[in-house]
Amino acid sequence: MSFDHEVGLRSNGLNVRYPGAPNGRFTVWDVSLKIEPGTIVGLAGESGCGKSTTAKAAIGFSQSNEEVTGASKLGNVDILDLDPIERRALWGNRVSYVSQSASLALNPALTVGYQLAQPLQKHLGLKGSALRAKQVELFELLQIANPQEALARYPFQFSGGQLQRVALAIALCCDPDVLILDEPTTGLDVTTQARISAMLRRIVDDRRIAVLYVSHDLALLGNLSDRIAIMYAGQIIEEGPTAEIVRSPSHPYTKTLLKLSPRLDDPRLATGIPGIPPPGVITAHCAFSHRCQYAEARCRVTPPVVDQVHNDHFVRCLRADELRNVTPTPLAMTKTGAVGTTPLLIVDQLELTYRGAARKSVDRVSFKLREGERLGIVGESGSGKSSILKIISGLIEPSDGYMGFGNDRLEGLAIKRPKRLCREIQLIFQNPDASLNPRHTIREILSKPLKAFFHGMSTAERNSAILEGLERVRLPRSVVDRLPSDLSGGQRQRIAIARAFLARPRLLLCDEVTSALDVSVQATVLHLISELSTEFGTSVIMVSHDLALVRTMADRTIVMRNGKVVEQADSITLFSDPQTEYTRELLAAIPQLHA
């Protein structure tokens, strides 16, 4: 096989269909992408739109025996025409892939040095001192501290940001022509994300790598990519130069997504796009028409074709030209909850030291939370944010300090607390896949808090409360006897919210509840938490690495670093006039969409 290294990757007419799909429905249809050397193409859209499927199909990778048709050329070679052995020779060598979770992609039983050595030995034939020198060079390139020592460590001995750098080092080790990045910085704090993004941009420019960057974070792609392609229901509905897409989006869907991205200069909390995307490709008409506020009768019966807007800017919309100067305004609500004067939660000189740790994870943290107040806690990974929530919820016991809730002293562990306090403090986890029992139906999951805390309820009363809870989080009653696996990520998170509010909590703890969600679902989830906490008068503590998101939700914000509180103030003051250099650094690292 011969390759022209100045061509990059060209995918044309990609179609993907999974076996057993109802009515032969396609997951991806007629997708064409051109990724030039030295450029980053961003691929964005809601969860389930086919972004990751497209990225894997473009390099000929199959997980479930899906049928992939079309062409995807690396230089003069169509990857889809290669046999499995020839494709494997490309993967990790000329084409590299980095998944969303490096912790799952790396083998926990092997040192990272061993895992980095495998592709270097297989594809480049390196051994001995030459192999070691190349490993150290790669770790230095990715700015991994103490490379010699780091190579001997296991994945669990690295932070999330460090693991992503290790994964990038493995992906770049054979100097690939094409790099596929599938949500590589999701869940990382803003400073770590900014460092990795800047490092990636420098490497792409220096090495002339062609990069396809899959992400739901439009602000990130707006600052990093050269071009953006927006996907909806398995089709690319708009593509063009990043600056032009951000400045003058043409498709109503793109316009709305950009408006939904949280911004520091706009504290309003927007609602998500009404409705849900179709489960697969729609070719008979515009797939977005049932959610589009500008749809006409013809949009529901006529398939849109791709039109050229300007130069290298394309859109798939029947009304794109008519809507050129129209800007949608998503529904928005401000923080309207009534905040009392009486403290609900008192945290005083809280400390936590994990066994064998060199420093305290939580170091003399003190704050008060009032009835109905919403408090944001922000900071880099490892700053102690989530540990505070686990202590308050009673999942782990503090080393020292005092916690008071209402008129009660909070014992360290939930098992030592009265059942009433367990009901009044509820925790929503980051990942609903881990917090919802996959073998239980939604009815069984939602019945748990009712059975645990409301013993006098009859079966009929419980079922009525469950259906009412589903309505509150805007899910159809028909999901009640389905399994979590039958629902989307955003729907599963709504189930977690419904379960928490069925306990009628006085305090809701939210641990990175939107970090893996696209901007539309994120907006919907935040709107639900805001709406329900206002309705029930519930106080909220929201831990997040997304400062722009916290700006829209929190009345007051705490900034943490290395287990300590470095600044706390009402959100308006803190975000407009930060008093510490660290807070200013965090705010400066937030990617913002600028036309």
Same domain, 38 and 114: no
Better-predicted residue by pLDDT, 379 or 338: 379
Q: Is residue 523 very low, low, confident or very high in pLDDT (cuts 50, 70, 90)?
A: confident
List the alpha helices (DSSP H) in 430-458.
432-435, 442-453
| pLDDT on residue 335 | 55
Q: What is the pLDDT of residues 45-68, one digit of tens each?
A: 988 788 989 999 999 998 778 899
Mean pLDDT of 303-307: 91
Least confident of 1-10, 64-73, 233-242, 296-305: 1-10
Q: Inform me whether the pLDDT recorded for 1 exceeds 50.
A: no
Kindly state whether residue 218 falls inside one of the protein's structural domains: yes
Same domain, 421 and 546: yes
Domain with residue 345: its CATH number is 3.40.50.300
Same domain, 82 and 116: no
Q: Inform me whether the pLDDT recorded for 529 exceeds 80.
A: yes
Residue 89: partners with Cβ closer than 8 Å, 6 or more residues away: none
Kindly state whether residue 34 falls inside one of the protein's structural domains: yes
Of the three residues 148, 173, 198, the one that is the final residue of a domain is 173
Q: Inform me whether the pLDDT recorded for 564 exceeds 90.
A: yes
Kindly state whether residue 464 falls inside one of the protein's structural domains: no
Q: Is residue 519 very low, low, confident or very high in pLDDT (cuts 50, 70, 90)?
A: confident
| 66 alpha-carbon distance from chain centroid | 25
Q: Inform me whether the pLDDT recorded for 2 exceeds 60.
A: no
Residue 11: partners with Cβ closer than 8 Å, 6 or more residues away: 31, 32, 33, 34, 54, 57, 58, 70, 71, 72, 73
Same domain, 305 and 344: no
Kindly state whether residue 239 falls inside one of the protein's structural domains: yes
Kindly state whether residue 476 falls inside one of the protein's structural domains: no
196 contacts 203 by C-beta, under 8 angstroms:
no
Kindly report the average pLDDT of the chain as a whole number: 88
Q: Residue 401: what residue type?
A: G
Same domain, 310 and 195: yes
411: domain range?
A: 335-437+507-589
Mean pLDDT of 97-107: 80
Q: What percent of the chain stands above pLDDT 90? A: 54
Same domain, 63 and 132: no
Q: What is the pLDDT of residues 374-401, one digit of tens each?
A: 999 998 877 889 899 999 999 999 999 9
Same domain, 79 and 211: yes
**Among candidates 62, 65, 86, which has minimal Cα distance to 74?**
86
Same domain, 38 and 142: no
Q: What is the pLDDT of residues 6-53, one digit of tens each?
A: 668 999 999 999 887 777 789 999 999 999 999 999 999 988 788 989
Q: Inform me whether the pLDDT recorded for 414 exceeds 70.
A: yes
Same domain, 232 and 349: no
Mean pLDDT of 361-385: 91
Q: Is residue 245 very low, low, confident or very high in pLDDT (cuts 50, 70, 90)?
A: very high
Q: Inform me whether the pLDDT recorded for 433 exceeds 60.
A: yes
Kindly state whether residue 479 falls inside one of the protein's structural domains: no
Of the three residues 130, 151, 173, the one that is the final residue of a domain is 173
Kindly state whether residue 457 falls inside one of the protein's structural domains: no
Q: Inform me whether the pLDDT recorded for 5 exceeds 50.
A: no
* Per-residue CA distances from 186 to 169, 189, 232, 327, 588 (Å): 18, 9, 20, 28, 19
Mean pLDDT of 458-465: 94
Q: Inform me whether the pLDDT recorded for 334 exceeds 60.
A: no
Kindly state whether residue 279 falls inside one of the protein's structural domains: yes
How many domains in the chain? 3
Q: What is the pLDDT of residues 119-177, one digit of tens each?
A: 999 888 999 999 999 999 999 888 888 889 899 998 888 877 788 888 888 988 988 99
| pLDDT on residue 164 | 82
Same domain, 211 and 272: yes
Q: Is residue 594 very low, low, confident or very high in pLDDT (cuts 50, 70, 90)?
A: low
Of the three residues 173, 192, 211, the one that is the final residue of a domain is 173
Q: Residue 382, by phi and psi: left (phi above 0), alpha (psi -120 to 50) or beta?
A: left
| pLDDT on residue 563 | 92
Same domain, 114 and 86: no
Q: Inform me whether the pLDDT recorded for 94 exceeds 50.
A: yes
| pLDDT on residue 515 | 76
Mean pLDDT of 199-206: 90
Q: What b/e readout covers 362-383, taking b as 16+ CB neighbours within 10 angstroms? A: bbebebebbbbbbbbbbbbbbb
- The dihedrals phi and psi of 299, each to the nearest 5 degrees, come to -65, -25
**Among candidates 162, 160, 161, which has minimal Cα distance to 151?**
162
| pLDDT on residue 431 | 78
Mean pLDDT of 546-564: 90
Better-predicted residue by pLDDT, 432 or 284: 284
Same domain, 283 and 144: no
